[in-house]
Structure 1
C-alpha cells in the first residue's frame, strides 16, 4: 500500500496485538474522560465535570489517541467534536463504562452476600402469561440471586438487550428482532375484545377487518402489538380509528368495558379480566394472530452464570407447559 508524499501513515501495533496487550493498556479512566469531553463539547468543561485539570485530561486523551492510532477528537476554538473514528469509539466506550459500573455494583453485592444479579425486561404479555410466578419460583431456589425486573414495551426490550442494558428479555416475537437469539417460552392467541352486548359479541370468530368498523382501544404507538395492528389495517385497505391509547392490556380491557371502543388482546386474559369488565374474547381468524412469547438474548454463552441459570429455569418451564398442553 502506497502513502502519498507528505502524508504520515499512522499505525497502531497495539490494536493488532493478539496477546491482550491492547486491552491491558486501555485505561477506563481515559475512556471516561473521552466520553465526558464529547458530551460536554469541551475539554475544559469535561475537566470540571471530572474534577481534574484540563492539561491532565488533554494528555490522557492524546495518549488514548496514540494507543488507538487514530484521531478521536477535532479540537477547535469552540471546543471539541468527535471524528468519525471518535463516533465509533464513543459507542464502544459507553458499553465499556456500563460494563465496568455493572462489575463494580455486582462485586459490591457479592461482598454483601448476593451471588448474582440479573437484569430482566418483560412485556405486558409476558407478565400476564405467568412470568412473575416463574421469577418467584426461581428466587426460592436461588435466594442469593438478585433479579431486577422492569416492564417495557417490546421495541424497548429489544434495544436494551442489543445495547447491553439488560441480560434477558421476555416478550412477543411480533417484531422478529435481528440479530437476537429467540427461545420460544409461551404460545398464545390474539382475540378481539368487545363488551357483552356488542354487535360482534356472539360471533365465534372474527377477521380483523370486521373490527375496523368500530373505534379502537389500543396500547401506545411504540408497542409491538400496535405496530402489528397498524400493518394489518394497512393490508386490509380500511381506515383504523383509534379512540384511546393506554398502557398495558388491563387498561385496554378496562377502557373497552367502559364503552370506549373495542380492541385486541391475548386470549389468555379472558380468565382474569373477562368477567371483571364484562367482556367477550372472540378468536381472530388471522395468520398473524398466533404469536409466541420468547426469551430474548444476545448470546447464551456470554451470559453470567446467574442469568444462564434463570434462562434454563424458563426453558424447563416452557417444556413443562408444552407437555401439559399435549
Structure 2
C-alpha cells in the first residue's frame, strides 16, 4: 500500500461519494465528470487492495473498510484545519474559516447578525452558514461536516459536546395592535381563541403545541401553515386576518422585537417551556482558534441577551 494515496484527490472524491451516496451526485458537487470520480475511487480500492463500497441499485454505501477510511480522512482534514488555525492564531486570528449549521429559525436573523458583529473585530474570518432540519444538525457536526451547530434539542446527542444548553421557551407572536398584545403572560386557552399560523406537524413547536392542547382538551383553528418560519411571523405581524397568532423563540425574533415591529409573549403552559437551544461541537474534536473564538462569542451573546 502506498500511503501517499491517502493525501491526494482520490480521498476527497471518495469522501464526496460517501456523503452523497452516488458517483453522479458526487461529480455534480465536485464539478467534474462522473468518470473522474469513478476512476479515483477505483484507484483507492486498488491501492488499498479492498473494496470500499457496497454497490446497490439505489446508491453506494461504504462498507466496514470504507467507514474506517472515511473516519480517518475526516480526522486528517480536521487536524489540518486545526493546525492551520493555530498558525493563524500566531498572527492574531487574522484568518480562518468557520462552518456553521443551524435550523431555519436561527439562520434568518440571529446568526447572520452575530457573524457580522464577530467580523467587525476579526475581518479575516470567513463563514459558511448552512440551514438544515433539526435532526440533521448533530449528525453533520458529529461527521465533521460542520464546526458549530445551533439547534433545538430535547435530549443530549451521543458524540456531541454541548458548548451551551440554554432555555428557549416558545412565545406567542402577534401584531402590536392585537387584543392580547398588552398581556405579560398568556395561557394556550387564551391563545387558541384566535386563528393560528403554524409550522408543519413534524416540527418541535407543533408537537409541543399538540401535546399541551391534548392534555388540556383544547382545540385550535389554523389560518395558515408553512414550512418557512419567517413567513408565519410576517403573516401575523400584519394582523394575519382576524388576529392570527404564531409561535417562535425569542432569539429568532430578537431584532424584530428590538424594532418593536411585533409582540412576543411568554406562555404559562408547561410543555411550551420545555425546549432548549444547544450550541454543539464534536465531542472528540479540538476546533481551530477561529471556531473556538466564535463559539465563545456566540455563547456569550446568548447568555447575556446581547
SS in 1 for 2:140: helix
Q: Residue 49 of structure 1 is aligned with which of 34, 53, 57?
A: 34
In structure 2, the partner of 1:262 is 245
Change in CA separation of 1:61 and 1:119 when aligned onto 2, cut-off 3 Å: same
Distance 2:37 2:169 in 1: 58
Distance 2:70 2:291 in 1: 22
Tell me whether 1:283 sits opposite 2:263 in the alignment: no
Aligned residues: 281
Q: Which stretch shows the higher mean deviation, 92-101 or 298-307?
A: 92-101
Q: Within 5 A, what are the aligned runs for 1:175-324?
A: 176-184=156-164, 187-195=167-175, 204-221=184-201, 223-238=203-218, 241-247=221-227, 249-256=229-236, 257-260=238-241, 261-267=244-250, 269=253, 272=256, 280-290=263-273, 291-299=275-283, 301-318=285-302, 321=304
1:218 CA displacement: 1.9
1:163 CA displacement: 2.7
RMSD of Structure 2 on Structure 1 (CA):
4.8
Change in CA separation of 1:207 and 1:274 when aligned onto 2, cut-off 3 Å: farther
Q: Which stretch shows the higher mean deviation, 266-275 or 136-145?
A: 266-275
Change in CA separation of 1:249 and 1:164 when aligned onto 2, cut-off 3 Å: same
Question: How big is each residue's C-alpha offset from its partner over 1:23-63, in whole Å with a ceiling of 9 and x where there is no partner?
Answer: 7775756654698697359xxxxxx8344997x97675255
Contact 1:33 1:50 in 2 (8 A): no
Distance 2:44 2:143 in 1: 27
Distance 2:125 2:15 in 1: 34
Q: Within 5 A, what are the aligned runs for 1:7-86?
A: 26=6, 32=13, 39-40=22-23, 49-51=34-36, 60-66=44-50, 72=52, 86=62
In structure 1, the partner of 2:29 is none
Distance 1:245 1:96 in 2: 44
1:284 CA displacement: 0.5
Q: Residue 87 of structure 1 is aligned with which of 56, 63, 76?
A: 63
1:181 CA displacement: 1.9
Greater Rg over alpha carbons, structure: 1
1:100 CA displacement: 7.2
Change in CA separation of 1:33 and 1:124 when aligned onto 2, cut-off 3 Å: closer
1:276 CA displacement: 6.5
Contact 2:17 2:60 in 1 (8 A): no
Question: How big is each residue's C-alpha offset from its partner over 1:153-176, in whole Å with a ceiling of 9 and x where there is no partner?
Answer: 433333322332210122334465
Distance 1:28 1:310 in 2: 30
Superposition TM-score, scaled by structure 1 size:
0.62
Distance 2:59 2:104 in 1: 41
Tell me whether 1:163 sits opposite 2:143 in the alignment: yes
Q: Which stretch shows the higher mean deviation, 155-164 or 21-30?
A: 21-30
Question: How big is each residue's C-alpha offset from its partner over 1:263-287, in whole Å with a ceiling of 9 and x where there is no partner?
Answer: 212356487259876x553320023
In structure 2, the partner of 1:3 is none
The higher relative CO (CA closer than 8 Å, separation ≥ 6) is in 2
Change in CA separation of 1:147 and 1:210 when aligned onto 2, cut-off 3 Å: same
SS in 2 for 1:289: helix
SS in 1 for 2:186: coil
